[in-house]
Amino acid sequence: MRIIVIVLAAVLAGGAVAVCLFAPGYYAYLLGTLAITTLVGVGLNVLLGLAGEVSLGQGGFLALGAYGVGILTTKAGLGFWEALPLAVLLVAAISAVLSVPALRVTGPYLAMVTIAFGFIVESVSVEWRNLTGGASGLTGIPAPFGTGGTALLACGFCVLALTSFHYFARSPLGLAMQATASAPAAARSIGIGSLPVRTAAFVLAAVAAGLAGGLQAALTGFIAPSSFPFSQSILFLLAVVLGGAGRALGPLVGSAVVVLLPELLAGLAEYRLLVFGAGLLIVLWIAPGGIAGAIARVVMRGESVSASPSNVDLAMSHIANAGGSLLAEGVRVAFGGVVAVAGVDLNAQSGRVTSVIGPNGAGKTTLLNLISGFQHPDSGTVRVGSREITGQPAHDVARAGLARTFQTAQPFGNLSVLDNVRLGLLRGAWRGEGPTALARALRGLSFSPDEHTFVTSWVHCKRLVKTSGPCYLLPQL
């Protein structure tokens, strides 16, 4: 299997080099466009495939990157290799600024912000004529190597991006993004702050698009506002979804369809959007994993869980080895005139199971929400060990060592069991390995070896997955 992949990659690489260097300019240009589209797609794959947010404004970042390189080379006299990193930095900065208003919202609201951004960039590039050349755009943008070489450079960046994505999706930050997309509340409960994670995804997507834009400026030598129409942002989204959101090779497959299919059907070029729109619908209906997802299902059966005996002692010692005890004093909260929790004291010793009992409406869930950071108490203090956590948000509380499960259990359905456990152990950290052996051990406690990799709705399994992370447990009634 590995060998097939390596040989295939080598052949494709050889083919790309041959086309870029020896074929007439148009084919190199086509390949370069494919690489650039894939690059934007990889960025969007991080934002959509991992963090679950729809952006219809990637064209805006593409334009910014392109104009950055275009202006720096034609007006400021910089060389391409100096202009490109500067342009990318500019895009990163602008996206960080935009993320402040943008990520306060989600779903269709975020889509609107990204659309608005795209239109603003287009209008500014028309109006700021002294800088951007206005509607006529910029010509004579220098390419580092000529069309073939620049296309090859774009291919190189594209390959780099695709491989990086593969490793990134497995990394702590990548897992955190997927967790936030899958079950935001649960993610907060194990220490993953939603805003920083989504901001990271947003900026990464923008940077990828900006880099692609800079390459496009060099590849075509000419950019104008009309080079970045709104329909292009839709095409990027289409490429990612069609190819398979969240899959490493998804953007490549999707971009190949979007860029190369019109070439094969040159006579029907005017209907290409119709075909793509219909294609997107069909993919969404019957193959939500996209083309790459469908291929993966056929080619790669689920990884079988290793049959090696799990290290039960390691797992048990981790669970038993808890930190300080939980101490709550005088916790009180009122909603309007209704006092939900009136001065509760709670002492839960480590290594023991403590129960909170009460009739319906007594305020048990509210008390747990107050302690674990999902709601703010009006007064009172909460400590874990010697550390005070009163009123802190849930993800900070989780990092202090306190987590909670929910009445309706929410595992991260798009991650494997192992990744669920690893995430819990990471406690919201963005770096670090996450002790894999420990995670495997913990997983082994509740699994027989031939279970399917992805989490199924097993209440027992979920409890274990969620509570193995922090060092303290809060049982639910």
Partner 1 sequence: MPKNLTRRQALVLPVGIALGSFASRYAMAADPVKVGLVAALSGQSAKSGEGITRGLTIAIGEINAGGGVLGGRMLELVRRDDESNPAKGQTAARELIDKEGVAILFGGIDSPVSQAIVPLVNAAHVPFMGVWAAATNITRNGANPNYVFRVSAVDVLVDRALIKHAMASFGAKTPGLMLVNNGWGESNLGGLTAAAEAAGIKLAGSEKFEDKDVDMTPQLKRLREAGADAVILVGNAAPGAQVVKSLQRSAWPVPVVSHWGISGGRFPELAGSWAGKVHFIQTYSFFGPQNDVGKRVLAALMAKYPDIKGPGDVTPPVGVANAYDAMQLTALALAKAGSSDGDKLREGFLNIDSYQGLIKNYTKPFTDANHDALNENDYVMVRYNGDQIEPIAG
Partner 2 sequence: MLVTALVSGLSLGSIYGLIALGFTLTFAVSGTVNFAQGSSVMLGAVICHALTMGAHWPMIAAVPVALSACAIWGMVVERIAVRPFVTRGTNSWLMATVALGIVLDNVVMALFGKEPRALPSALADDPWIIGGVGIFPLQVLIPAVGLGLALLVHLGMHRTGLGLKLRAAVENPDAARLMSIDVTLLIALTYAVAALLAGIGGILIAPLYNVAYDMGTLFGIKAFAVAILGGLTNPWGVVIAGLAYGLVEACATTWLGSGSTQIVTFTAVIAALAVAPSGLFGGRTKVRV
Binding positions for partner 1, rule: CB under 8 A: 4, 8, 11-12, 15, 19, 23-27, 29, 126, 134-137, 139-140, 220-224, 226-227, 229, 260, 263-264, 269-270, 291, 294-295, 298
Rounded to whole angstroms, how far apart are CA atoms 224 and 78?
20
Q: How far is CA 169 from the centre of its chain?
A: 8
Find which of partner 1, partner 2, none residue 229 binds, CB within 5 to 8 Å per kind. partner 1
Cβ proximity to partner 2: between 143 and 245 the closer is 245
Residue 380 DSSP label: E
Q: Say how far apart CA 286 and CA 279 lie, in whole Å.
A: 11
Q: How far is the CB of 121 from partner 1 (least distance, A)?
A: 15
Bridge-based pairing state of the strands 387-388 and 379-384: antiparallel
φ/ψ (deg, to 5) at 453: -60, -45
Smallest distance, partner 2 to C-beta of residue 171, A: 25
| Interface positions, 38-77, toward partner 2 (CB under 8 A) | 52, 54, 56
Point out which span in 118-126, 140-148, 441-449, 455-463 binds partner 2 (CB under 8 A).
118-126
CB of 62 vs partner 1, minimal distance in Å: 12
Phi, psi for 23 (deg, rounded to 5): -85, 160
Per CB under 8 A, does 234 bind partner 2?
Answer: yes
Q: Does 127 bind partner 2 (CB under 8 A)?
A: yes
E runs forming strands in 46-130: none
**Least distance in Å: CB of 106 to partner 2?**
9
What is d(CA 128, CA 368) in angstroms, rounded to the nearest whole number?
55
Residue 238: which of partner 2, partner 1, none does it interact with, CB under 5 to 8 A by kind? partner 2
The one of partner 1, partner 2, none whose footprint includes residue 226, by CB under 5 to 8 A per kind, is: partner 1
Question: Choosing among partner 1, partner 2, none, which partner's interface includes residue 24 (Cβ < 5 to 8 Å by kind)?
Answer: partner 1
Q: For partner 2, which residue of 14, 79, 146, 288 counts as binding (CB under 8 A)?
A: 288
Q: Which residue has the tokens 């993919």?
A: 283
Distance CA 182, CA 399 (A): 20
Q: Using an 8 Å Cβ cutoff, are 83 and 68 in contact? A: yes
CB of 263 to partner 1, least distance (A): 8
Q: In what order do the strands lie in the sheet with 387-388?
A: 338-348, 326-335, 379-384, 387-388
**117 versus 412: smaller Cβ distance to partner 2:** 117
Q: Which of residues 165-194 bind partner 2 (CB under 8 A)?
A: 185
Which tokens belong to 16? 């790309």
Contact 181, 188 (CB under 8 A): no
Contact letters (x/-) for partner 2, 363-392, by CB under 8 A? Answer: ------x----x------------------
Stretch that binds partner 2, among 120-128, 151-159, 314-322, 383-391 (CB under 8 A): 120-128
To the nearest whole angstrom, how small is the minimum distance from the Cβ of residue 86 to partner 1?
23
Helices (H), 265-349: 272-286, 290-299, 312-320
Quick one: 265 or 281, whose CB is closer to partner 1? Answer: 265
Using rule CB under 8 A, residue 104 touches partner 2 = yes
Instruction: List the single partner that 458 binds among partner 1, partner 2, none, CB under 5 to 8 Å by kind.
Output: none
Member of 211, 238, 382, 398 binding partner 2 (CB under 8 A): 238
- CA–CA gap between residue 110 and residue 98 (Å, rounded): 11
| Residue 97 binds partner 2, judged by CB under 8 A | no
**Interaction of residue 102 with partner 2, rule CB under 8 A:** yes
Closest CA to 295 of 264, 253, 251: 253
List strand residue ranges (DSSP E) for 111-223, in order: 138-139, 222-223
Least separation, in Å, of the C-beta of 102 and partner 2?
Answer: 8
- Indicate the DSSP class of residue 6: H
Q: Taking every pair of C-alpha atoms in the chain, what is the biggest distance, in angstroms?
A: 79
Q: What is the DSSP string of 227-257?
A: GS-HHHHHHHHHHHHHH-TT-TTHHHHHHHH
What's the rounded Cα separation, in Å, for the pair 128 and 444? 62
Q: How far apart are CB 473 and partner 2 at their closest, in Å?
A: 18
Positions that interact with partner 2 (CB under 8 A): 52, 54, 56, 98, 100-102, 104-105, 107-109, 111-113, 115-117, 119-120, 122-124, 126-127, 185, 230, 234, 237-238, 241, 270-271, 273-274, 276-278, 280-281, 284-285, 288, 369, 374, 406
